[in-house]
Amino acid sequence: MSRNRRHQSAAIRFGPALKSVALCLLIGGSAVGYVWQKDQIRQLGERIAEGEQTLDRLRRQNEELRRDLLTLRSPANLERLAQQKNLGLVRPAPDQVIWLPEPGPLPSASQDLAVPTHYAANEVGRGWPR
């Protein structure tokens, strides 16, 4: 005689239902993960765009400041400012100007570092750098 459902084990009766629930959770979890990942990609894209805009703004500002610095350092501008402020400054006489030679390039790794490099302010055998 066949057994009726009342005598079947609980695992046999609830097995297909548990498989269905597990499959729904897997699909739902995958969908939530996909949406979360797409949102993260969108947020990172916005941050990159903001960073690029900031970089462009800072580059423009840097170029503007560089032009301002060149203007402020120009000899004509310095003379004009000195005359406006009545500082009593005059051009030096040619015998008052001392020209120093530019120091040569720094020694490379292949050159012998034991040979001292002397600059205008150093005395032979003393001073920095060696």
State if pTM tops 0.75: no
The tokens for 56 are 């462009």
Q: Report if residue 51 sits inside a domain.
A: yes
Q: Report if residue 112 sits inside a domain.
A: no
pLDDT of residue 127: 46
Describe the crossing of helices 10-73 and 75-84 by its angle, rounded to 10 degrees.
Answer: 70
Mean pLDDT score across all residues of the chain: 82
* pLDDT grade for 7, boundaries at 50, 70 and 90: low
Q: What is the pLDDT of residues 69-110, one digit of tens each?
A: 999 999 899 888 888 988 888 888 989 999 888 888 876 655
Residue type, 51: G
Do 111 and 117 meet the contact criterion of CB atoms below 8 Å apart? no
Structural domain total, the chain? 1
Q: Report if residue 16 sits inside a domain.
A: yes
Asked if residue 58 has pLDDT above 80, the reply is yes
Q: What is the pLDDT of residues 101-114, one digit of tens each?
A: 888 887 665 555 55
The parent domain of residue 28 ranges over: 11-92
Burial 25-39 (b: 16+ CB within 10 A, else e): eeeeeeeeeeeeeee
Q: Report if residue 1 sits inside a domain.
A: no
Report the alpha-carbon distance of residue 115 to residue 130 in Å, rounded. Answer: 7
Give mean pLDDT, residues 45-60. Answer: 98
Q: What is the pLDDT of residues 18-50, one digit of tens each?
A: 899 999 999 999 999 999 999 999 999 999 999
Q: Report if residue 35 sits inside a domain.
A: yes
